[in-house]
Amino acid sequence: MSITQELVVEFARLGVVYIHLIACCVAIGLVLTSDIAMVKQMFVGESSDRKESHDMTQLQTTVVWALVALWISGLVVIMLDVSSKGLQYFANPKIQAKILIVMLLTLNGVVLHHVVLPWLQKAGSLLELTPSRTTFAVFAGAVSGVSWLYAAMLGVGRPLSWKYSLWQLMAAYPLLIAAGFASMLLLTAFVKYRNTARSTTAKDDEDFGASFGPQGIIA
C-alpha cells in the first residue's frame, strides 16, 4: 500500500471513529436524561401525561438510531483494522469485550423498547407497575446505563489493549449492574414508602377533621 493510500485509509478511519464517538455520546446523554427524568417523576409523584409519553418515545427512538450508527461505524472500523492487521485483531481481549458489551446492549435495548417502554406508557409511572414488572424494568434500566458507560470506557481505554484478559476486563461489569440495580430498587422502595406514609397521614388528618369539625361536634 502506497503512502497516499495509507493516508486515505487513516483519515477515513479517523472520520468513522469520530462518528462512532458522537453516536456514543448522544446515546449516553439521552439515556442519562431519561433516567433523571424518571427519577424526578417518581419523587414528584405524578404520572406522565400524553406529551411526556410522546417525548419518551421520541427519546427512545433517537437512542435506537444512535445504536444503529454505533453498530455501522463500529463495523466499518473493524473492517478497516482487520484489512491492515489481519484476523489477529480479534485476539485483543479489549475488542472482544467491546463486541460482547455492544451485543448485550443491543439485546437489552430491544427488551426496553418493546417490553418496558410500553409498560411505562400504560402505567404512567414506574411506581404504578406491578412488583415483578418494577423489578424487571429496574434491572433492564441498570443494564442499559451500565452497558453504555462501560462501552464508552472500553472505547477510550487504549492502554487496556493486550494487558488484561477478557474476564479481567469484564469483572467489574456485573458488579456495577448489581450495584445500580440494588440502588434503584432501594430508591423505588423508599419513594413508595414515603408516598404511602403521606397518604396515611393525609387520611388521618381528614378523619380527625371530620370527627372534630362542626358536624362531628354536633353529632
Residues 151-185 pLDDT 10s: 888 888 778 888 889 999 999 999 999 999 999 99
- Phi, psi dihedrals of residue 47, rounded to the nearest 5°: -80, 150
Query: Cell match 417525548: residue?
Result: 55
pLDDT band at residue 101 using 50, 70 and 90 as cut-offs: very high
Contact 120, 159 (CB under 8 A): no
Q: What is the pLDDT of residue 172?
A: 93
For residues 106, 187, 197, 129, the Cα torsion angle rounded to the nearest 10 degrees is: 10
Q: What is the pLDDT of residue 139?
A: 93
Q: What is the pLDDT of residue 118?
A: 85
Q: Which of 33-37, 41-45, 132-136 has the lowest mean pLDDT?
A: 41-45
162 versus 93: the higher-pLDDT residue is 93
Grid cell at residue 3: 503512502
How far apart, in whole angstroms, are the C-alpha atoms of residue 11 and residue 162? 25
pLDDT band at residue 13 using 50, 70 and 90 as cut-offs: confident
How far apart, in whole angstroms, are the C-alpha atoms of residue 67 and residue 47? 28
Is pLDDT at 219 greater than 50 in this prediction? Answer: no
pLDDT band at residue 114 using 50, 70 and 90 as cut-offs: confident
Q: Which of 104-108, 136-140, 195-199, 215-219 has the lowest mean pLDDT?
A: 215-219
How far apart, in whole angstroms, are the C-alpha atoms of residue 150 and residue 132? 27
Radius of gyration, CA atoms only, the chain: 24
Mean pLDDT of 115-121: 85
SS3 202: helix
Rounded to the nearest integer, the mean pLDDT of the chain is 81
Nearest to 141 by CA among 119, 172, 164: 119
How big is the CA angle at 158 (ends 103 and 149), to the nearest 5 degrees? 45
Give the start-to-end residue ranges of the domains of the chain.
3-200
